[in-house]
């Protein structure tokens, strides 16, 4: 997890964040039907020619209301931890809309649209792609993954889990500020806390 200190976040770092959100936040909302898809699954969905062939590897979406998908601009499945930019796709199955949050203008627009198209095919439903121009913008070339993690948490905790499970939720991030330095420190604190907790259990 050294990348969390000051580098580009890897698939594993973002997957860790999603798992932490599931265990520490989502588990307290038993009625929530929200899926945090791992980066590897999102990438698999983007690169497969026939989405139906990976259906068994993905979660069941029958009762799902929203899906969070980290989007990577890598195009080569053979390269582990590839790509150079992360963005976030939040798909509302209630509204039939795929909201794309990109902290580097519209850099991952093509990749996000591809995933949206593949998801349409997999789910058998129409999804309208919407680029969220209100997304806060990063100031360097390495904070994109941190933006994905913090925006994901904000949308999950402050929007989706605060609303009625079947209600429409405003997805704009107007006036929302992101502090990537603080975000990195918070992630490291969480990891350290989990490490200490693990040591106590083993002692």
Query: Is 144 designated active site?
Result: yes
Strands (E), 8-147: 34-36, 66-72, 86-92, 97-101, 128-131
* Tally of CB atoms within 10 A around 86: 27
Query: What tokens does 197 get?
Result: 């907790």
Q: Which of 66, 135, 144, 149 is labelled catalytic?
A: 144
Q: Which of 85, 135, 143, 149 is labelled catalytic?
A: 85
Terminal CA-to-CA distance of the chain, rounded, Å?
24
The β-bridge relationship of strands 34-36 and 66-72 is parallel
Strand arrangement of the beta sheet that strand 128-131 belongs to: 34-36, 66-72, 86-92, 97-101, 128-131
Q: Torsions phi, psi of 82, nearest 5?
A: -80, -175
Q: Which of 102, 135, 143, 149 is labelled catalytic?
A: 102
Torsion of CA 51, 54, 119, 16, to 10 degrees: -150
Catalytic residue numbers read 85, 102, 144
């Amino acid at each position: 997890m050294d990348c969390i200190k000051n580098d580009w976040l890897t698939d594993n770092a973002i997957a860790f964040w999603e798992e932490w959100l599931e265990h520490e936040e989502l588990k307290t909302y038993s009625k929530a039907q929200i899926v945090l898809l791992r980066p590897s699954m999102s990438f698999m969905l983007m690169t497969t020619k026939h989405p139906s062939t990976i259906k068994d590897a993905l979660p069941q979406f029958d009762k799902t209301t929203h899906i969070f998908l980290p989007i990577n601009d890598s195009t080569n499945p053979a390269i582990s931890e590839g790509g150079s930019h992360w963005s976030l796709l939040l798909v509302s199955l209630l509204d039939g809309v795929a909201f794309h949050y990109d902290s580097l203008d519209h850099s991952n627009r093509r990749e996000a649209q591809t995933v949206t198209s593949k998801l349409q095919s997999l789910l058998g439903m129409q999804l309208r792609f919407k680029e969220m121009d209100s997304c806060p913008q990063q100031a360097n070339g390495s904070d994109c993954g941190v933006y994905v993690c913090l925006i994901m948490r904000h949308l999950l905790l402050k929007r989706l889990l605060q609303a009625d499970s079947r209600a429409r939720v405003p997805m704009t991030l107007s006036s929302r500020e992101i502090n990537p330095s603080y975000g990195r420190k918070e992630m490291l604190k969480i990891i350290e806390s989990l490490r200490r907790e693990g040591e106590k259990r083993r002692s």
